[in-house]
Chain A
Amino acid sequence: MTSPIDSALQGLIEAYLKRLRQALGSLPPEEIAEIVREIHGHIVERAESTQTLNEAALKRVLGALGEPEDIGSLYQSRAMVARARAGMSPLLIVMSAIRWAGRSAAGLVACLFGVMGYVLGIGFLVSPILKMLYPDRVGLWVGRQYWNLSMGTLSAAEQGQAHSQEVLGWWLIPFGLIVGPLILLLTTLLLRWALRFAIPAAVVRRNQPDT
């Protein structure tokens, strides 16, 4: 038995789909159109199969479907991870890792690793510039009595301490310029690998058309 959907109820459905469209924001328009079409079909079929279709019944149908923002968020996470694991954008990869971090302990570890890797890489990249600006205060310092490897700006008093000595000198400039990008690249590749591990796929096929 099917019940017709009047214009007032259509308005409720439209409002739900509008929220869904907004929640799907950054997805390609054609993908959004397909998702909305599919969810619309679901709502209509569920609604039409209710014995008495009124506002309360339709609200139950929409309630059973879930909040459009939650559905949109699940689609966005999937799409972001798919793009991140295919690409090399550190921003996209970190954003995906942050989303992943909110869902599992493995994601949190990957996210922390990513942030540390990028901070370290950027630190090495910036160190040659700082070395040129403050040659006496920037360097790679190694302790004599114990393992104490540190790099960065040191105060004059700390420099004077006998237990440490600067080992790289001006070599810090090529060192930073080589090691910095290498750490950034390695972090990106490892995070991307971790994201692939996050959503294992028997066959990774992107932009697969409908058949």
Chain B
Amino acid sequence: MGGEISNWEAQIRKGWLEVAILATLWRGRLYGLEIIRELETSSDLIVAEGTIYPVLARLRNDGLVEAEWVEGVSGHPRRYYKLTSAGRKRTLILAKHSNTFLERMTALIKPLLAEAK
């Protein structure tokens, strides 16, 4: 049972990760570690930090984000990501769908949780 739930949770996290990464980039460019820090504080989506980099590569390949190397003040180059115009449109669509989905799910499970108390 526990295994089934953790598998379900892993699938949920995987599904939401792309939306969450796009959402973090809505306000401006960020590099990988900044995205991770942002997600760490606003969600618990990240299990292994390294998984966000292949997702970023896919988003870049799909033309939703673009990347730029910038020399950091600490001397390490950082690869910054920002949304393209197609990425902004997609993020907005995903955000609207996510919002509707979450509202409906909350409405569905809220009475159940209240009853179970």
- Do A and B pair up? The answer is yes
Binding site for B on A (CB under 8 A): 2, 34-35, 37-39, 41-42, 44-46, 48, 64-68, 70-71, 74-75, 77-78, 82, 199, 201-206, 208, 210-211
Say whether B60 faces chain A, with CB atoms less than 8 Å apart.
Answer: yes
Chain B contributes a number of interface residues (CB within 8 A of A) equal to 32
A41-B79, A44-B76 known; A202 and B54 CB under 8 Å?
no
B89:A74 contact, CB within 8 angstroms: no
User: How distant is the Cα of A65 from the Cα of B50 in the complex, in angstroms?
Assistant: 5
A64 to B33, CA, bound (A): 12
| A65-B50, A75-B57, A199-B58 given; A210·B66 CB < 8 A | yes
Contacts A202-B64, A202-B86, A208-B61; A74 near B79 (Cβ below 8 A): no
Interchain Cβ contacts within 8 Å, total number: 97
B86–A203 CB distance below 8 A: yes
Query: 4 nearest interchain CB pairs?
Result: A66-B48, A74-B54, A203-B63, A201-B62
29 contacts between A and B (CB under 8 A): A35-B53, A37-B77, A38-B53, A41-B33, A41-B72, A41-B79, A42-B32, A42-B33, A42-B49, A45-B33, A45-B76, A66-B51, A71-B54, A77-B54, A78-B57, A199-B62, A201-B61, A201-B62, A201-B63, A202-B64, A202-B89, A205-B62, A205-B63, A208-B60, A208-B66, A210-B66, A210-B67, A210-B69, A211-B67
Extra contacts besides A70-B48, A203-B64, A210-B66 (12): CB < 8 Å? A34-B79, A35-B53, A45-B33, A45-B72, A65-B49, A77-B54, A78-B58, A82-B61, A201-B64, A202-B90, A203-B86, A205-B61
| Interface contact A64-B77, CB-CB below 8 Å | no
